[in-house]
Amino acid sequence: MKNILQNRSLLMTLGVLLGIMACDVSRLDTPPLGVTEDSYFTTEAEFEMALLNGYAKMTDWYWYHGGSGNILHRLWHLPGDDITEEAGNFATFELFSGITPTNGYVTEFFDKSYELIQRVNLIIEKTTEADPTAFDDPAFLDYHRGEALFLRAMTYFKLYNMYGTAPLITERLSSENTNTPRSEGVQLLDQVIADLQEAAPILPDSWDDTNRGRAFKASAYGLLVKALVFRGNYTGNAADYTAAIQAYNNITGRMLTSSYTDNFDALQENNEESLFEFQASIAPGQDNVWLYNDGPWRGVETMSTYWGFFTVANNPAKTNFGGTTWRVTNKIFNAHGDDPRIAYFTEEDRSFTKYGKVELDQLSQSNKPASVNNPRILRFADVKLLTAEAILRSGGSKSEAIALINEVRSRARAWNEANAIVEDASLPADRDVAETSDATILSWIMDERVIELCGEEYVRWWDLKRWDASGDVSLNGWTGGDQHFSTDLSANFQFEYPTHLLLPIPQTEVERNSAITSNNPGY
């Protein structure tokens, strides 16, 4: 898929077309400029390019946005208790200090996510309208519809966990539906689950090598497991946990890699553990990390990702960003630093190098903070641990839940023994399958998730919030001390509960959208 997405000149033309079709309501009555909507979406190639334009939009989440420094990773990595930094360059989101509806990063993520949603809403509509008999492959439209549904579900899952009550838009924007109110309760999660339940059965089991990286059946079932467990946490509905177990049982062809580090290695992408990744690559002709993704220069911008904060201090990839280093927190290091999965990626000063470790990373240019190492958005180990939680919460077999935990730990132990990461080759030892205490087993799952997934995107902070909602932890009263958020920064910690569990709806959206009459509570 990386090769497909590198064809940026075609995406330039398509991006203009989709901008007219899907976003710019003021130009709905503009006379056609040669290529019209009625003349497009008649061939497989046209559907293909339109769909890939949706995938390409993910670039805005992952790369270095030019001289403005809009690295959006701060939004999902730093609010939790696993990653910290000492320079204070991202203090707003680590210290919950000055998060407002006018914050540029809050607005950037929101806007780009809805642009992606509009692109795939168009595909969903067109695959519904098209005649299946007009295409050589009878599954062609189903595959493309399934991919579009998956991309929309993934984006709304992010929006729910970050903003909570963002507008729910499932149709293309038009002059009749430009103003949409904030969602209520778990409506966004409901849509995520509905989209994935429709997508999973119609997606292919796998793709050929040319198309590796595209969403497939296990991608949808894996994200469905996650969304169902999350909704169960927020609503207390035990049926969601049972449904999550059923979704897990529908996953085939996936297994844990023998080496833990294969999940962060630029040369081991889209492997047997991967359920979905962002396909980082080098744009044809020139890799220019300073140009904006939706500017008029399409064809020379990068599709790389930024991992500069996960590299050691003197790495050239970081020199353009003031030497900011991200660290595993004292809290996590003191509790789990002897586990090889933490120890391998932790330098003496606790600098955390997951994805950015020299032997695993692949920089597209050594003098810019750009990497072609794919961010792993969802992997099987994450889903296994969520399924263990679902089994426990639904009253299922405790030994079965523990066995899933032990699968993850066994892989880590075998990897440690083969590579001598830490001296004790018995680490991490299996959990006792005879344990009967729900609280003990849940604590094992919680610990395993932070160890296995430490520093990975959209994990720890979202876990803490859902466990707060389910009453298993309480974030009320958490400070910046090592027993709570464990920050290395000395500035004033300003976390307010429950306000800071969510980001505010951007002020630009509140002012533009007449159906939004109030922001998230506290903003």
Given a cut of 60, is residue 15 above it in pLDDT? no
Task: Answer with the residue of higher pLDDT: 41 or 8.
Answer: 41
pLDDT of residue 17: 45
Whole-number Cα distances in Å, 471 to 233, 468, 494: 9, 5, 23
Mean pLDDT of 74-78: 93
- Neighbouring CB atoms inside 10 A of 117's CB total 25
User: How many residues make up the chain in this entry?
Assistant: 523
Higher pLDDT, 59 or 186: 186
Is 2-512 assigned to CATH 1.10.3470.10?
Answer: no
- Local confidence band at 287 (pLDDT 50, 70, 90 cut-offs): low
Higher-confidence residue of 319 and 43: namely 43
pLDDT band at 21 (very low <50, low <70, confident <90, very high): very low
**Does residue 157 register a pLDDT over 70?**
yes
The pLDDT value recorded for residue 371 is 82
Contact status, residue 294 vs residue 15, Cβ threshold 8 Å: yes
Rounded CA separation 81/361 (Å): 25
pLDDT for position 283: 62
Query: Do 62 and 70 meet the contact criterion of CB atoms below 8 Å apart?
Result: no
The mean of the pLDDT values for the chain is 88
Q: Which of 73, 93, 223, 74 is nearest to 147 (CA)?
A: 223
User: In which band, very low, low, confident or very high, does the pLDDT at 330 lie, cut at 50, 70 and 90?
Assistant: very high
Give the per-residue pLDDT at 194: 98
Q: What is the pLDDT at residue 39?
A: 78
- The model's confidence at residue 193, banded by pLDDT at 50, 70 and 90, is very high
Integer Cα distance of 229 and 215 in angstroms:
21
As a whole number, mean pLDDT of residues 496-515 equals 97
Q: What is the dihedral of CA 134, 139, 145, 150, to 10 degrees?
A: -160
pLDDT tens figures, 433-485: 999 999 999 999 999 999 999 999 999 999 999 999 999 999 999 999 999 99
φ/ψ (deg, to 5) at 106: -60, -45
Higher pLDDT, 21 or 191: 191
Residue 376: φ, ψ to 5°: -85, 110
Structural element, H or E, at residue 167: none
Provide the pLDDT for residue 381. Answer: 98
Average pLDDT, integer, range 487-511 = 96
pLDDT over 60 (residue 293): no
CB atoms inside a 10 Å sphere around CB 313:
12
**What are the DSSP calls for 291-340, one per residue?**
S-TTSTTTTSB-B-B--GGGS-TT-GGGGGGTT--EEE-HHHHHHHTTSH
Q: Quick one: average pLDDT of 253-263?
A: 97
> So what's the pLDDT on residue 18?
47
Rounded mean pLDDT of 244-255?
Answer: 98
pLDDT of residue 89: 79
Specify whether the CB–CB gap between 148 and 51 falls below 8 A: yes
* Nearest partner of 226 among 520, 503, 456, judged by Cα: 456
| Beta-ladder partners of 277 | 376
Which pLDDT score is estimated for 265?
A: 94
Confidence of residue 14 (pLDDT cuts 50, 70, 90): very low
131-140 residue pLDDT tens: 998 899 999 9
Which pLDDT tens digit goes with each residue over 340-386? 999 999 999 999 999 888 888 776 554 556 788 899 999 999 999 99
Please state the rounded mean pLDDT for residues 510-516.
Answer: 95
Interval 282-305 mean pLDDT: 59
Q: Is the pLDDT of residue 5 over 50?
A: yes
pLDDT tops 80 at residue 320 = no
Q: In 427-491, which ranges are E strands?
A: none
CB 356 within 8 A of CB 307: yes
Q: Taking residues 271-285, what's their average pLDDT? A: 86
How many angstroms separate the CA atoms of 256 and 170, rounded?
35
Domain boundaries, the chain: 2-512
**CA 50/CA 11 separation, integer angstroms:** 8
Closest CA to 201 of 272, 128, 252: 252
CA distance 493 to 32: 54
% of the chain residues with pLDDT over 70: 85
More confident call, 35 vs 186? 186
117, 161, 180, 306, 522 from 513: Cα distances, Å: 17, 21, 7, 32, 19
